[in-house]
């Protein structure tokens, strides 16, 4: 179950960012989930929520996600969303996006002093 390690990494990234920026609260964390990651994003959200309940910095934090479709390129010049066989030449395209889980945005609150 690698969803747990992904949820933990997202939590740790958000916490480090919050502490580095003297945040008083983390409001929202946004992640993008590639189509080819083979993870269940709802499970990541559930596990993240379990972790954040222990930390007052994350009291009302929401983890949101968007799906990232596959983008691929081929040596023949094809660019598109084919995962396995280039529709132009029959070769194997290189997947350039859609295999990652990324934290794309962290919304925090800081004291204005």
Could you list the residues known to form a binding site, using ranges. 2, 74, 76, 86, 89
Q: Which residue has the tokens 């934090």?
A: 61
What is the sign of the dihedral through the CA atoms of 36, 40, 41 and 47? negative
Q: Which residues belong to the annotated binding site for Zn(2+)? A: 74, 76, 86, 89
Q: Which residue has the tokens 């598109």?
A: 80
DSSP calls for 58-99: GTT-EEEEEEE--EEE-TTS-EES-SSS-TTTSSPPEEEESS
Collapsing DSSP states into helix, strand and coil, what is residue 24? strand
Question: Which pair of structure tokens corresponds to residue 11?
Answer: 């939590």
Q: Which residues belong to the annotated binding site for Ni(2+)? A: 2
């Amino acid at each position: 179950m690698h969803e747990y390690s992904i949820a933990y990494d997202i939590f740790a990234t958000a916490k480090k960012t919050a502490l580095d920026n003297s945040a008083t609260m983390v409001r929202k964390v946004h992640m993008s989930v590639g189509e080819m990651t083979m993870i269940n994003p709802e499970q990541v959200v559930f596990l993240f929520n379990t972790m954040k309940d222990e930390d007052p910095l994350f009291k009302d934090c929401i983890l949101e996600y968007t799906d990232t479709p596959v983008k691929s390129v081929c040596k023949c010049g094809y660019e598109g969303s084919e995962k396995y066989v280039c529709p132009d030449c029959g070769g194997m395209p290189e997947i350039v996006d859609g295999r990652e889980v990324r934290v794309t945005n962290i919304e925090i609150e800081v004291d204005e002093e």
